[in-house]
Amino acid sequence: MGKNRVKKPHYIPRSSYLEQFVNTSNKIYAYLDKEQLISNPSVATPIEVSPTNFCIEHYMYETPKLPVNTMEKLLEKIESDYLEVLKNKIIKREKLTSSDKEKVAYFISTLESRTPLSRDNIHGFIDRVLSQFESLEKQYNRGVKTQQSIELEKIKEDKSAFIQSILTSVEVNRWRFSDFAFLFTQFEGDDQFFITSDFPVSLVDFTLMNSFYGVPPLSTTIEVTLPLTTKIALLINNAGYNGYYEISHNFVREINNRTLIGVGEYIISPNKLDTRFVDYCLRRFRQSLLLFLLQTKLDKEWGKRIKKIKKGRG
């Protein structure tokens, strides 16, 4: 690798994401054994680390198919645009423009596709195909590799399939047409903050829990959650809910539940997590955030109607 290549890129962005979860020492607590945290939180021990030194991997986005630092420059622009929207609009609860929303959607789309987990899934699929090729080559080609298997091995080696998946996520930007509801913690308390992970985007659809095909992005009842800071989480939906909402203890724990049982390997938190915190998040009946927002909407509408009725009587 050339000396000008970015050696240690963050696969979870540092300034735009990890630094939003730091403690008073500007560090995060990282639980590297998520399963132990879930099963036995009393003995789970995190490391306290600076975001500068966490979620990084050498030359992760470099491929001979592209000029030096092409992907780093692309991702850096997406991160910078999103951070500007986060600081100047979302944290201040100001209305987003269509351009603001698009920048947030780009950030989320790449956050899903740029991780080691995404890469390993792609390479795992290639390995399965190569295994089939090998069996056929042994049976019909005396073990001599075919051109197709050679090309597949090269695609895995130069990471071009992984890089193409990130570029596709940018081109498609699949959440750009969805609705964005930003959820703020309503109360203070020992467990009233959001945790996150090394794969922080969670997808849930309570109407498709037993579906063999998974959750389609355009499902009307999909709930995509993503902690943005220790006090703000995003709910991506297709049910028309946009803007800013406050959520109680119950739904802060619901979002943390989704993070804990999600596909990430590491749990990231501004604070050490004790048994009480984990139990509150896990020992619960799962609840729909869409139903909560619907109830909030109905309560407001009924409140307005009652005021009109009382005013009419007066």
Give the closest residue to 34 by CA, choosing from 275, 279, 262.
Answer: 262
Quote the pLDDT of residue 13. 96
In this predicted model, what pLDDT tens digit does every residue of 147-159 receive, in sequence order?
999 999 999 999 9
In this predicted model, what pLDDT tens digit does every residue of 112-161 receive, in sequence order?
999 999 999 999 999 999 999 999 999 998 888 999 999 999 999 999 99
Q: How far, in Å, CA of 72 to CA of 76, rounded?
A: 6
Q: How far, in Å, CA of 13 to CA of 98, rounded?
A: 23
In this predicted model, what pLDDT tens digit does every residue of 190-239 receive, in sequence order?
889 999 999 999 999 988 876 767 777 778 999 999 999 999 999 999 99
Give the closest residue to 160 by CA, choosing from 123, 111, 130.
Answer: 123
Antiparallel, parallel or unpaired: β 179-185 and 232-237:
antiparallel
Distance of CA 73 to the CA centre of its chain: 21
pTM exceeds 0.85, yes or no: yes
Q: How far, in Å, CA of 191 to CA of 278, rounded?
A: 9
29 phi, psi to nearest 5 deg: -100, 125
Q: Is the pLDDT of residue 311 over 90?
A: no
3-state secondary structure 238-257: CCCCCEEEEECHHHHHHHHH
Give the closest residue to 147 by CA, choosing from 158, 133, 160.
Answer: 133
Q: How far, in Å, CA of 139 to CA of 219, rounded?
A: 44
Degrees (nearest 5) of the Cα angle 232, 238, 242?
A: 45
Give domain limits for the chain: 18-303
- Secondary structure of residue 64 in the 3-state scheme: coil
In this predicted model, what pLDDT tens digit does every residue of 240-259 receive, in sequence order?
999 999 999 999 999 999 99
Question: 299 falls in which pLDDT band (50, 70, 90)?
Answer: confident
- Secondary structure of residue 139 in the 3-state scheme: helix
Dig out the tokens for 222 from the structure: 């999909």
Distance of CA 95 to the CA centre of its chain: 22
| H or E segment to which residue 267 belongs | strand 267-269
| H or E segment to which residue 268 belongs | strand 267-269
Question: 104 falls in which pLDDT band (50, 70, 90)?
Answer: very high
Antiparallel, parallel or unpaired: β 267-269 and 196-197:
antiparallel
Give the closest residue to 273 by CA, choosing from 257, 262, 284, 288.
Answer: 257
